[in-house]
Chains A and B, each alone.
Chain A
Amino acid sequence: MSTFDTIPQTRQEALVEILLRLADDRLILGHRLSEWAGHGPELEEDLALANIALDMIGHASALYEYAAKLDNKPDEDFFAYFRDDIDFKNIALTELPKGDFAFTITRQFLFSLFSYFLYKELIEIVEEEQFNGMLQKHFKEIKYHLRYSREWVLRLGDGTNESKSRIQNAFNELWMYTGEMFELDKAFEAAIEHNLYSDVTKWRPEWRSFVNSTLTEATLTLPDYEQYMFTGARSGRHTEHLGHLLAQMQFLRRSYPDAEWK
């Protein structure tokens, strides 16, 4: 059953919805990053990307576990492995194929910067102790992801002609997927009322000017279009890529539902 456009009625429902949205973004992007394992441009970058992948999947796992407890689901695996693409609430930015190194770095930078602003706000307002503790713990790792990806944006932008054109292309391509980060639907509005989510539109200009100053420092140009922004993934209307990703990620668990680590 899809949770398509359902509106949370209670505080608890609003919380579960937020946990799942945060977790889905992190699981899907974490999985995309994990695809670099063994394929990184250098051994050191291979490790760096795998580390970030592990961090993000770890964040998702903690969020799912909490959601499972609140929502009377068996465990975190239920959310990761036994839902179909229409039930996933991640934004499209996180599900796009990994592309080249510049594409991966650009996406990580845009997403980690968004996470940075979001978590900073949430830590201030969220009253639930367990949720807030989780956010504080993950925030430290987000700061590192931001630092790593920002340093690479600077180096690729201000690097060779090839690296510069690749990362500029990545920004141009990904820009239309950044709109979804700042969309507020009924579920987010309900969560904002309960101090469970931040009014992201408030700090969107700050996010944008941080991107802009990084791009300027990297001798790159901020994509100058806002006309067309991709939308719909949060409520289940995903790109074609998510289904393929899930098929790969879920098949083992679904084929052997009772399998255990020995």
Chain B
Amino acid sequence: MTESSTHTTEWPLWEVFYQPSDGKPFEHAGSVHAPDAEMALLNARDTYARRNEGIVIWVVPSDQITASSPEDRGPFFDPANDKAYRHPQFYSVPRAVKKRK
């Protein structure tokens, strides 16, 4: 354990996702090292699913994930800042609809 961080042949990294319950979207839990996919699944279970966190686990090789870069943050996300109408809360519920409750 103490030496593993200096090994040149370190196991590949896997990203772990779990589904909290039926129908819910998968959430990112963290990552594990493992020699292959099956062991990654077992390691993910032992690391992240010991407290009844979910019902299904996905593991994905970390190098297979394409991520946006920090520089993308502006162009990707800022344009949404002043577009409050994209949120449902922007709209008030008509009185007739409210009454039906």
Question: What is A's interface to B at a CB cutoff of 8 Å?
Answer: 38-48, 51, 144, 147-148, 151, 155
Contacts and interface: CB of A to CB of B under 8 A. Distances in A.
B39 A41 contact: no
A38 B1 contact: yes
Contact of A44 (B36, B38, B43, B50): B43
18 contacts: A39-B1, A41-B1, A41-B4, A42-B4, A42-B33, A44-B32, A44-B33, A44-B34, A44-B43, A44-B47, A45-B43, A47-B43, A48-B42, A51-B46, A144-B45, A148-B42, A151-B42, A155-B35
Contacts of A47: 43, 46-47
Contacts of B32: 44
Contacts of A43: 1, 4, 33
B11 interface: yes
Given A41-B4, A43-B33, A147 B50 contact: no
A48 B50 CA distance: 11
Interface in B40-60: 42-43, 45-47, 50
Contacts of B45: 144
B39 A155 contact: yes
Interface string B1-40: 1001000000100000000000000000000111110110
Contacts of B46: 44, 47-48, 51
A109 B47 CA distance: 21
B46 to A, nearest CB: 4
Contacts of A39: 1
Nearest to B47: A47
Which of B1, B38, B43: most chain A CB closer than 10 A?
Answer: B1
Contacts of A144: 45
B8 to A, nearest CB: 14
Given A42-B4, A155-B39, 18 more contacts: A39-B1, A42-B1, A42-B11, A42-B33, A43-B4, A43-B33, A44-B32, A44-B33, A44-B43, A45-B43, A46-B1, A47-B47, A48-B43, A48-B46, A51-B46, A147-B42, A151-B39, A155-B35
A40 B33 CA distance: 13
Nearest to A43: B1
B3 to A, nearest CB: 9
Which of A40, A42, A48, A147: most chain B CB closer than 10 A?
Answer: A42
A40 B1 contact: yes
A148 B11 CA distance: 17
A147 B42 CA distance: 9
A40 B36 CA distance: 18
A198 to B, nearest CB: 28
Contacts of B33: 42-44
A147 to B, nearest CB: 7
Contacts of A44: 32-34, 43, 46-47
A38 B11 CA distance: 19
Nearest to B44: A44
Contacts of A151: 38-39, 42
Nearest to A155: B35
